[in-house]
Amino acid sequence: DERARALEQAARASDDRGELLERRLREQREALRHEQRLRVRVERARQAEREWTRELREQVLRTYRSGPGTGGLHELVLEVATRLSQAERGLLLSKRDADGDGRLDLVCHSGFRNDPADSSVAQRFAERVLERDEIVREDAPGDGVSAADGEIDSLVAIPVYMNDGFEGVVVCANRPGGFEELDDDVMLALGDHAGSVLENHRLQGRVRSSYLAVVGILADAVESTDLLVDSHSIAVSHYVERVARRLELDPARREQLLFTGLLRDVGKLGISERVLLKPGRLTPDERRVIELHPEIGARIVERVPGLVGLAPGIRHHHERWDGQGYPDGLRGEEIPVEARVVALIDCFSALISTRPYRQRLTPAEACAEIERCAGSQFDPEIAALFVEEVRRQPPEPAYTESLPAELLALAPAEEALATARLGAASAAASDNVTLLHSHRYLQEVAAREAERAARNRRPFAVAMIELSELSMINRREGYAGGDMALQAAARALERTMAGEPATIGRYSGRRLAVVLPGTGDTTAPERGATLVEQLEQLERSGPRVRVGVAVWQPGDHGEDVFARARLALEATPAVT
DSSP string across 41-70: HHHHHHHHHHHHHHHHHHHHHHHHHH-TTS
Cα 475 to Cα 391: distance, rounded to the nearest angstrom: 67
Residue spans of alpha helices (H) in 437-478: 439-456, 470-477
What are the respective helix, strand and coil percentages of the chain, to the nearest 5?
60, 10, 30
pLDDT at 321: 95
The list of the chain residues with pLDDT below 50 reads: 63-71, 164-166, 227, 230-232, 398-428, 539, 576
- For residue 327, cis peptide bond before it (omega within 30 degrees of 0): yes
pLDDT at 546: 84
CA geometry: angle 135, 139, 142, nearest 5 deg: 100
CB atoms within 10 A of CB 169: 26
CB atoms within 10 A of CB 12: 10
pLDDT cut 70: percent of the chain above it: 71
* 511-517: strand order across its sheet: 503-506, 511-517, 460-467, 545-551
Exposed, middle or buried by CB within 10 Å (0-12, 13-18, 19+), for 444? Answer: middle
Answer positive or negative: Cα dihedral of 482, 486, 491, 493: positive
Give helix 439-456 / helix 184-225 axis angle, nearest 10°. 110
Closest C-alpha to 260, from 346, 380, 370: 346
**Kind and range of the H or E run holding 567:** helix 558-570
**Kind and range of the H or E run holding 511:** strand 511-517
Q: 484, 470 in Cβ contact below 8 A?
A: no
Q: Which residues pair with 516 in a beta bridge?
A: 461
* DSSP character at residue 305: G
pLDDT at 419: 27
Q: 431, 199 in Cβ contact below 8 A?
A: no
SS (H, E, C) 353-412: CCECCECCCCHHHHHHHHHHHECCCECHHHHHHHHHHHHHCCCCCCCCCCCCHHHHCCCC
Give helix 251-262 / helix 337-351 axis angle, nearest 10°. 40
Give pLDDT tens digits for 130-164.
Answer: 776 677 888 877 777 788 888 998 888 887 765 54
pLDDT at 165: 44
pLDDT at 22: 79
How many residues are present in the chain? 576
Give pLDDT tens digits for 448-497.
Answer: 889 888 877 788 899 998 888 887 887 777 777 788 888 888 888 887 77
pLDDT at 478: 72
Cα 325 to Cα 343: distance, rounded to the nearest angstrom: 11
* DSSP character at residue 430: B
Q: 331, 322 in Cβ contact below 8 A?
A: yes
Q: 145, 185 in Cβ contact below 8 A?
A: no
Listed in sequence order, the residues at least 6 apart from 141 whose beta carbon sits closer than 8 Å to its beta carbon are 121, 124, 125, 152, 153, 154, 155
Residue spans of alpha helices (H) in 117-250: 120-132, 184-225, 232-235, 237-246
Listed in sequence order, the residues at least 6 apart from 214 whose beta carbon sits closer than 8 Å to its beta carbon are 304, 306, 307
Give pLDDT tens digits for 367-422.
Answer: 999 999 999 999 999 999 999 988 888 775 544 333 333 333 333 333 333 222 22
pLDDT cut 90: percent of the chain above it: 14
Helix/strand/coil for 468? coil
| Angstrom distances, CA of residue 409 to CA of 65, 236, 551, 574 | 16, 15, 53, 55
**Kind and range of the H or E run holding 105:** strand 105-110
